[in-house]
Amino acid sequence: MSDKYRKKIHSEEIIATFQDVLILPGFTNFAPQDVDISSNLGKYHLNLPIMSSAMDTVTEEVMAINMALHGGLGVLHRNCSYERQLEMCRIVKRARSFVIDDEHVATINPNAKVAKAKFMMENYNISGIVVVNEDKKVCGIFTKRDIPFLEQDIQNGAIKDYMTMDVISIKPGASREEARKILYESRKEKLPIIDKDGFLKGLITKKDLAPEFPFASKDEEGHLLCGLALSPRFPESSESQKLLKEIDKYVDIFFIDVADFYKKDDIIGTTKLMKLLESDFVLGNIGTYQAAEYLITKSDFVEDRFIGLKVGMGSGSICTTSIQTGVGAPTLFATAQVADAIQDYNSKLSLIADGGFIKPGDLPKAFAAGADLIMSGHFFAGTEESPGFIDTIAGRKVKVYRGMGSKEARTSGYISDRYIEGSKMLTEGVSNYVPYVGDVAGVLATLKEGLANGMIYAGARSIQDMKEVSLGIVSIVGQRETQPHDLIGKF
């Protein structure tokens, strides 16, 4: 981005939004298939630089799994108990991997009821459970095929009466090819890894040996990346700290989740959290150069685990912070501000532009302003994978989408500290319906094409190149001209 533009959108006269600007066309000296839309968040490489927001009507385990499978990242919300957060993180980490290590494998005692196994399968989204005895040695496997037909047998029957005792297994250290051969010859879908003494060391599944998602976002061990929203408030109780440490085992990146992070108490609390936990941290939200400068240069964060900043305040389609308080930092403006601070003080930090996106064409604008990744709730709230049921209003399929500052979200008891603490009457978000748009794969395909095509027109081969393209302010008349106009209406 040119210095001239940066000064313009940083000035007191203009606080620009996505609708206020256009990217100027550039010279394209590469083929369309050479466009690289991948980006980095700290040490993590994402083939799709798109995240779903940490909102309770947007991202729970199903969304997080699908976002990661398609190369992005879904950030699990925090509007629930630590116990529920732990459950979601476990499910995400267990979802896809060549080898599921022993601590992530679902196990059950042979004397347990069939009903318990059925419950575990439904809640963990798995099709089978390894059966281990009191000595933790494998004695069988129980799958959905083993569930009896009669309800009374499900409620009263023991696992040992229905499980498969002749377990086909593989030894630790076996190759992918060996595992694939055994699974094919046995016509099984799950292959427990059992050592010479009979102890469970992991699990290999058929679907993970032949992955249909080659660009998935994975950690070093092959598990899907897991991001989780976190309050900046440090939990004082030992029980809460213990739960957080357990959650920490499954999380790759914690996202501090408050409307305005540029507050002394939030900074102090986060510093303590970073010393308690071992995963990486993204901090936010902020909206100005000064806030980024302070966080980078004057805060006592654990440097090697402070990997990114999340920016934007008041831009979301269900956010009313700017209306209710008169304070805000639209995402495009905030991105340009914080991008300059990162460039000046710590170029290793990643920048996430959060919220305010309406159309696919807004994504290239965010990257042109300096973002490394974008985050949205609006794009994903109406998908099949978002939490909640599909309803029908006036013959149209819809889903509920609510701001985390809405009355409905704030009265749940878990996110009272996301906005101004103690504010009971003033809501900073709304709750309403959004159109049902099908599965998240289709939405991501549209966003991906919009981003890639925008990069081609701008002459940028990579996300890094996008940061060098030119942006210009568009007049009100110019904005109208870029919309479909002067058409004969439908009769």
- pLDDT per residue, tens digit, the chain (491 aa), is 445 444 445 555 578 899 999 999 999 999 999 999 999 999 999 999 999 999 999 999 999 999 999 999 999 999 999 999 999 999 999 886 556 666 668 899 999 999 999 998 888 778 889 999 988 899 999 999 899 998 888 999 999 999 998 899 998 887 777 888 888 888 888 888 999 899 988 888 776 666 678 899 999 888 899 999 999 999 999 999 999 999 999 999 999 999 999 999 999 999 999 999 999 999 989 999 999 999 999 999 999 999 999 999 988 777 877 878 888 899 999 999 999 999 999 999 999 999 999 999 999 999 999 999 999 999 999 999 999 889 999 999 999 888 776 666 666 666 667 666 666 567 766 778 999 999 999 999 999 999 999 999 999 999 999 999 999 999 888 888 888 888 886 54
Calculate Rg over the CA atoms of the chain.
24
226 is known as an active-site residue? no
Three-state DSSP class for 287?
coil
List phi, psi (to 5°) of 144: -60, -30
The one catalytic residue in 78, 94, 96, 418 is 418
Strands 373-376 and 391-393: unpaired
> Which DSSP symbol is given to 319?
B
Half-sphere exposure of 47 (CA within 13 A, CB side): 13
CA 114 remoteness from chain centre: 34
Domains within the chain, CATH numbers bracketed:
3-96+215-481 (3.20.20.70), 100-209 (3.10.580.10)
Cα(152)–Cα(114) distance, integer angstroms: 10
The one catalytic residue in 90, 319, 402, 410 is 319
- Long-range contacts, 167-173 (Cβ 8 Å, 24+): 167/138, 167/139, 167/140, 167/141, 167/192, 167/194, 169/138, 169/193, 169/194, 170/194, 170/204, 171/195, 171/196, 172/201, 172/202
96 is known as an active-site residue? no
**CA distance readout (Å), 76 to 3, 34, 160, 226, 228:** 37, 33, 36, 8, 5
174: nearest Cα among 191, 189, 186? 191
